[in-house]
Structure 1
Amino acid sequence: MSDQPPPRSLTEAELSARLRGLAARGVAPAPATGAQVRSRAARRRRGRRVLLSAGALGAAALATVASGALGSSPTPPAVPLATSVPHPSPAPVQRVTVDLDAHTLTIEGRRFPISAPQETCPIGETSVTVTAKYPSLTLRPDPITKYADIRQWAVTFTDRSHHQRLLMWALDPAAGLSSLGHNAPAGSIALAPKAGKRVYDAIEPGARVEIKGGQTASAHPDSMCSDRQTITVNR
């Protein structure tokens, strides 16, 4: 065996340069060695694989563009319409009717006889909202008699001047029932003792009270109409 190293394979550029030089001198090219032939064959195979890979990629890109997948976002799935969640209806406002001419109070389908206020000390409202309830309420003393009037099962409202005033109450059993059906209280309405307790228990703060019947302007100052005075309760 020869100790000389095998000849170095020429690159494609070197081979082309030598061929051009031989052609210029009119010399036929020397036959390529086996290593050179194998090298050129390997380069051609690699070139074909590169071309095939580029062609496959180009075909895939064309298919992607044709299918509309490139440059456009996928169609989102259909979202079902949200179903409405039922909400409970608000509780209806409790309604109470007071008829000053018929001397009656109606609540939840039950009717009670009342005594309407004096014409000289009317309630002065046609529609009020119940503000509070008191089992016992002491009004300010009368300026003349100095007598502090105590009202049982009292129900109050707030008037248009933002003053809390007496709306209805129950007669004291000691006072008798002779005033029922007449215009007696000084700016409110009165019920019989048992009826007053039933109405007191049934009526709720926030109840809407419709007051029917003619009411004239107050002929007396509020100091003379005890039920029209502003109520101040120590809490």
Structure 2
Amino acid sequence: MSDRPRVHTLTETELSDRLHALAVHGATPAPTAGAQVRDRAVRRRRGRRVLVSTTVLAAAVVTLASGVLRSPAPPPPSTTAEPSVSVQQVLIDLDTHTLTVDGRSFRIGAPSPRCPIGERAVTVTAKYPVVNLAPNEIGVGRAGSRNWAVTFTDHNHQQRLLLFELTAADLPYVGEDHIFGAVGVAPASGKPVYDAVRLGAQVHIKGGQQSEEPPSNSACIDRQPIKGGH
């Protein structure tokens, strides 16, 4: 008789009870050869998926670095203010009989003490190649046309002559106080002054008859309100 102990074969019920007891106590039975093969296959598939994902991510990083998918950067904010359009300044000096615009000076005839302009700061509101005027109320003075006329609107809301070109017959009036309520520009300077003075220009009138009480517009031909259509 053999001395080796007899091997006890577990029944199906006993094997099930032991596996259940191992599971309850956290133990895991040793995997079979087939389970080990399946586990290695699963790990290989997972490794391949991780490798593919890593390759795709690296390609995306390279693409972004190359600028293919890069959105254009917004322009930097401007630090330079937009240049503002300055208002043109014109000076009429009735004492020196000069008109200065854009650094150029022109000789003028000033208003008569009897018919001053009556304003010290005006804005150019209109320009006319020709305006026509009527004689004054007592029939004295040269009526007719005034060429290269520049006008302003006075404090009574009347559009009036500011300056115009004198004729050759008016040459003695250049440098004198003789014009009936406006400024006369020396002959041949009327068109250059007309072109140089812009609409909206601020005109400062210096000197002259500060204390004169102006008569009515009809008494001073060049003080007449300008009517449309002239």
Give the TM-score category using the shorter length. Answer: 0.5 to 0.7
For structure 2, the 5+ residue unaligned runs are 1-10, 29-73
CA distance in 2 between partners of 1:216 and 1:198 (Å):
32
Contact map agreement 1:119 1:218 (CA 8 A) in 2: no
Contact map agreement 1:97 1:211 (CA 8 A) in 2: yes
Instruction: State the percentage of identical aligned residues.
Output: 45
1:201 aligns with 2:181: no
Residue of structure 2 aligned with 1:44, choices 24, 27, 30:
24
Return closer, same or farther for 1:219/1:205 CA change in 2, 3 Å cut-off.
closer
What letter matches 1:44 in structure 2?
A: V
Could you list the structure 1 runs, at least 4 aligned residues long, displaced by more than 6 angstroms after superposition.
45-48
The total of aligned residue pairs comes to: 173
Q: Which residue of 2 aligns with 1:231?
A: 226
Q: Which residue of 2 aligns with 1:34?
A: 14
Return closer, same or farther for 1:40/1:158 CA change in 2, 3 Å cut-off.
same
Give the superposition deviation at 1:130. 1.2
Q: Which residue of 2 aligns with 1:88?
A: 82
SS of 2:193's equivalent?
helix
Query: Which of 144-153 and 89-98 deviates more?
Result: 144-153
Q: Which residue of 2 aligns with 1:217?
A: 212
Residue of structure 1 aligned with 2:124, choices 122, 127, 130:
130
Larger radius of gyration: 1
Give the superposition deviation at 1:155. 0.6
1:158 aligns with 2:158: no
Return closer, same or farther for 1:39/1:156 CA change in 2, 3 Å cut-off.
same
Give the superposition deviation at 1:219. 3.9
Contact map agreement 2:127 2:199 (CA 8 A) in 1: yes
Residue of structure 2 aligned with 1:99, choices 78, 88, 93:
93
CA distance in 1 between partners of 2:26 and 2:132 (Å):
112
Return closer, same or farther for 1:40/1:155 CA change in 2, 3 Å cut-off.
same
CA distance in 2 between partners of 1:148 and 1:46 (Å):
125
For structure 1, the 5+ residue unaligned runs are 1-30, 49-79
Give the superposition deviation at 1:38. 5.2
CA distance in 2 between partners of 1:205 and 1:83 (Å):
35
TM-score (norm 1): 0.63
Contact map agreement 1:96 1:105 (CA 8 A) in 2: yes
